[in-house]
Structure 1
Amino acid sequence: MTALAVTGHMDLTDESVPVVRAALDELLDRYRDPDRDQEPGSGKSFVGLSCIAKGADSLFAEAVLAAGGRLVVVVPSRDYRHSTVEPDGAPLFDRLAEAADEVVVLPYERADRQAYEAANALLLERADRLVAVWNGEPPSGRGGGTADVVLAAREAGIPVDVVWPDGAARAASR
């Protein structure tokens, strides 16, 4: 079973969401079990690992479930949902966590840089491939961002599938 971890931008524009989701669906279709639709309960052909943050992580998790994959959610800290998930994103976060085959909550009290770096390390440790919803820009220098995860995966010899279709864009900084 292939394990696909995700990293990606949280600040996708509303117009980007459908094109990114379509690109993720197309990518995950390569890992779909062709017999899954004929034999209910025949098993899952791949696993998707995600922190289910808003944006790319949640889109990927939804696409994994739609493609019949097994979803593993990595929660960076005990307070992550309460301190980090925005109220309008809480229903999606809760739905994805409930649909997951496994939820791993890391032993950090607070969602901080250390917790995020540990979550990214766990994603890469368990991944055969990394799916990066990434515009290709270099690291920001703050650490723990999408570009940093891509670089760490490449350094570890983990293949990276970059997903950034025409029409994808990040929202302007506030």
Structure 2
Amino acid sequence: MTAIAVTGHLNLTEPTVPLVRAELRRLLAGHGPGPLTGLSCLAPGADTLFAEEVLAAGGRLVAVLPSTRYRQSFAAGPRADLDRLLAAAAEVLVLPRPAPDDAAYQAANAELLRRADLVVAVWDGRPGNGRGGTADMVAAAGRAGVPVQVVWPAGAARAA
């Protein structure tokens, strides 16, 4: 079984979404034969796209939620996506942290890394905004010896 975790930007531009989705689809199609498990925190943006593509590929989705109040931190649209993906997940792990803060995101990243054979990073390669973000997860994966595959197609951009 191949277990692939995702990390990535929340703020992808609208034209970037189909570019990233297509790259994720190609990447996941190349990780067969055999069962596929996708590990995601189901955040808006890259995490959601990855989870949708894992399910579309017939994979098993494992949701790792950073805190008990994670869902409340989402706006209405992303909350509906979160609920839909949680309902489709084969496993949901909610970390026992009260608030979705940097420490909770770092703990979620550690759980993803503990379970992953590979990390897919939907990442523009720029430094991060703090602990628990995409750049931090890529660095943590390197320290843990978990390979990272960066997905950032030509023409991709982050929203301001």
| TM, length-normalised to structure 1 | 0.89
Q: Deviations over 1:115-159 (max 9, x none)?
A: 11100110011101000000011233x211101100110111111
Query: Which one of 47, 55, 66 corresponds to residue 57 of structure 1?
Result: 47
Query: Which one of 85, 90, 94 corresponds to residue 101 of structure 1?
Result: 90
2:105–2:133 contact (8 Å) kept in structure 1: no
The Cα shift of 1:29 comes to 0.3
Equivalents in 2 of 1:78, 1:143: separation in Å? Answer: 19
Equivalents in 2 of 1:111, 1:146: separation in Å? Answer: 15
How many residues matched? 160
1:32–1:67 contact (8 Å) kept in structure 2: no
2:56 paired residue number: 66
1:12–1:169 contact (8 Å) kept in structure 2: yes
1:8 paired residue number: 8
Could you list the runs of 5+ residues in structure 2 that have no partner in the other structure? none
1:113 paired residue number: 102
Q: How does 1:1-174 map to 2 (within 5 A)?
A: 1-33=1-33, 45-82=35-72, 84-140=73-129, 142-172=130-160
Equivalents in 2 of 1:9, 1:106: separation in Å? Answer: 21
| TM, length-normalised to structure 2 | 0.97
Equivalents in 1 of 2:3, 2:27: separation in Å? Answer: 13
The Cα shift of 1:55 comes to 0.1
1:4–1:131 contact (8 Å) kept in structure 2: yes
2:21–2:53 contact (8 Å) kept in structure 1: yes
What RMSD in Å do the two structures reach over aligned CA positions? 1.0
Could you list the runs of 5+ residues in structure 1 that have no partner in the other structure? 34-43
Q: Could you say what secondary structure the match of 1:103 adopts?
A: strand
Q: Deviations over 1:13-64 (max 9, x none)?
A: 011000000000000001244xxxxxxxxxx611000000000000000000
Q: Could you say what secondary structure the match of 1:171 adopts?
A: coil
The Cα shift of 1:90 comes to 1.4
Structure 1 moving runs of 4+ over 6 Å: none
Equivalents in 2 of 1:132, 1:109: separation in Å? Answer: 26
